[in-house]
């Protein structure tokens, strides 16, 4: 994955906090995906302005004691892209 690629939430999808679920969710026309806290943290930074390197740097700074955070973020972004939740600008 190119760390200078800039991901964004795919058109037709919306990220929001859902009080009933007590979690962030990704809404799309056919349904909803309930996100765990880690996934939500990454998706909240995917705004079409930050590249992958900046997303990793910001989360690594927030969670300095999380071993392997860069690899985890890469893996999540690859899965989110494969699931068509995000696209690259």
**pLDDT score of 46:** 98
Predicted model pTM: 0.94
- pLDDT value of position 1: 74
**Per-residue confidence of the chain (89 residues) as pLDDT tens digits?**
799 999 999 999 999 999 999 999 999 999 999 999 999 999 999 999 999 999 999 999 999 999 999 999 999 999 999 999 999 98
What is the per-residue pLDDT for 65? 96
Domains annotated for the chain, with CATH where assigned, are: 7-84 (1.10.10.1150)
DSSP string spanning 2-40?
A: -TT--EEEPTT-EEEEETTTTEEEEEETTEEEEPPHHHH
Sign of the alpha-carbon torsion through 7, 81, 69, 2: negative
Helix (H) or strand (E) holding 84: none
């Amino acid at each position: 994955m190119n760390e200078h690629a800039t991901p964004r939430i795919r058109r037709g999808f919306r990220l929001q906090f859902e009080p009933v679920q007590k979690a962030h969710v990704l809404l799309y026309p056919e349904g909803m995906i309930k996100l765990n806290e880690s996934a939500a943290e990454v998706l909240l930074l995917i705004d079409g302005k930050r590249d992958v390197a900046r997303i990793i740097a910001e989360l690594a700074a927030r969670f300095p004691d999380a071993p392997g955070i860069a690899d985890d973020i890469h893996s999540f972004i690859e899965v989110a892209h494969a699931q068509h939740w995000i696209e690259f600008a």
